[in-house]
Structure 1
């Protein structure tokens, strides 16, 4: 999925030259299949052609629409280590909507009004990995997905979930041109702590993170997927954050736990009624075979 964030600076120097699986902010969907943005209207790509080239529309991370003007993503996607500059200075930073194939011109490339990065984000531990993008112009109604709150059953172990992205599909730098999704299970915190007890591979924090995947591996987020959504029962439960390798047995993907950061997202949303409750348009979920 994603490499640990300590390698972000070197990783993105490589990314600018040749797409390779490197840093935490990259993650791609391994073991998934193609889906359409029409079935996941809240799924967006973050892009900067100036920094990441014109290939694949300059995509470098994913994001999720949670309000008409509000997109949530991983904090590390908006750092100087990834962008090479402060987000406010990245004048060509765009949010791409309704584009299944990044080689095409379908959909829209939306300008960014402002960004917010969680000041408590720790690049060493990946704790607090959340940021908010405010769009220059609001999207139509019905595009947002609900943020799952603490205590909801979607956080229970073995809950089926889907992870989305345009990232690496094989874990070897094979970036996808088209949007993909993979079916995973939300895993028990005890299992996640056992997989990441600390040290070089990172430490799992059950209060701010959750992990998802399969015990045998095979399906996961990967490089290029960071900031994208983990969705369960039509609710946003996680953001692709970090992990060790991609789709490896015993090394599940680790996600920012939405219930731990939803209040911060709401506080930095310009939308009058932030989407934190389920609505008809938010119940739809792509019919992706497992």
Structure 2
């Protein structure tokens, strides 16, 4: 039976970093599948809030240490998936990762463009449940600000951007095929917000996971096709100019009947009111 997977790029790059001999193309997906299966290349200027999480100490320099995605929601605040900061990914607590950085303003991971900004503080949602993937978000505070033009607003509860049928864009540097063909350049895919009952039928519980409409969002195509995949975890799903989801989990990538599951950003915003001392989306969460 297929198993639901969080969409962090973990084992292939971790093994490559340790052995320095395992190729990225053809490496078996381990913790998830990709973004942008069925996607297309874009320039980072088209989605400037999309950032890469990097640790060369942990994942080597082949892809500039990229292992997950993230999204800037304030000049010094980046959201990502909680599972991206797990000890199984980073080898220890996130704040113990000496070279954890955010790469911003860079289309090609190996170019010298953009900025590599150190993470001053990394906090995983205390309500995150690694068994169910509920509450799958974390907050990174950067050591220097990004430009305001690189920030995307978060869609609150009741925003029409969550309406089923709305077209949304997911972006990242993840697997483009579901088989280990990781992107060096930023890619994106157009997907549609799907009705909650579609995801509830796809993921009713058990080995493939349980969909929870209050904290999760269903996106993709019911018949299969464009989707996020391994290496895209924590990356943005944006509709009508507003952030509605963070890449979280799914069963495979782009499979018919198995749409992608995203952390619902309206639930993140509510949690941040408590988690960040009532300053969600501010420049400096306390």
Q: TM-score, normalised by structure 2?
A: 0.89
CA distance in 1: counterparts of 2:135 and 2:12, whole angstroms: 21
* 1:91-102 matched pairs, under 5 angstroms: 91-102=98-109
Matched, 1:22 2:23: no
CA offsets per residue over residues 55-76 of structure 1, 9 Å max, x none?
1111000000000110001011
- Per the alignment, residue 254 of structure 1 pairs with 261
TM-fit CA distance, 1:141: 2.3
Aligned partner (choices 53, 76, 81) of residue 83 of structure 2: 76
| Superposed CA RMSD | 2.4
CA distance in 1: counterparts of 2:10 and 2:236, whole angstroms: 24
* 1:128-277 matched pairs, under 5 angstroms: 128-265=135-272, 267=274, 274=281
TM-fit CA distance, 1:82: 1.1
Q: TM-score, normalised by structure 1?
A: 0.88
The answer to whether the 8 A contact 1:94-1:110 is kept is: yes
CA distance in 2: counterparts of 1:28 and 1:37, whole angstroms: 15
Give unmatched runs, 5+ long, in structure 1.
277-290
CA distance in 1: counterparts of 2:227 and 2:260, whole angstroms: 6
TM-fit CA distance, 1:215: 1.5
What secondary structure sits across from 1:116 in the alignment? strand
Compared with structure 1, are the counterparts of its residues 75 and 28 closer, same or farther at alpha carbon in structure 2 (3 Å cutoff)?
A: same
The answer to whether the 8 A contact 2:170-2:236 is kept is: yes
CA distance in 2: counterparts of 1:6 and 1:247, whole angstroms: 13
TM-fit CA distance, 1:263: 2.8
Compared with structure 1, are the counterparts of its residues 252 and 209 closer, same or farther at alpha carbon in structure 2 (3 Å cutoff)?
A: same
Give unmatched runs, 5+ long, in structure 2.
none
TM-fit CA distance, 1:216: 1.6
Compared with structure 1, are the counterparts of its residues 134 and 268 closer, same or farther at alpha carbon in structure 2 (3 Å cutoff)?
A: farther
Compared with structure 1, are the counterparts of its residues 178 and 6 closer, same or farther at alpha carbon in structure 2 (3 Å cutoff)?
A: closer
- Per the alignment, residue 4 of structure 1 pairs with 5
The answer to whether the 8 A contact 1:3-1:22 is kept is: no
- How many corresponding residue pairs? 274
Aligned partner (choices 86, 92, 96) of residue 85 of structure 1: 92
CA distance in 1: counterparts of 2:108 and 2:10, whole angstroms: 28
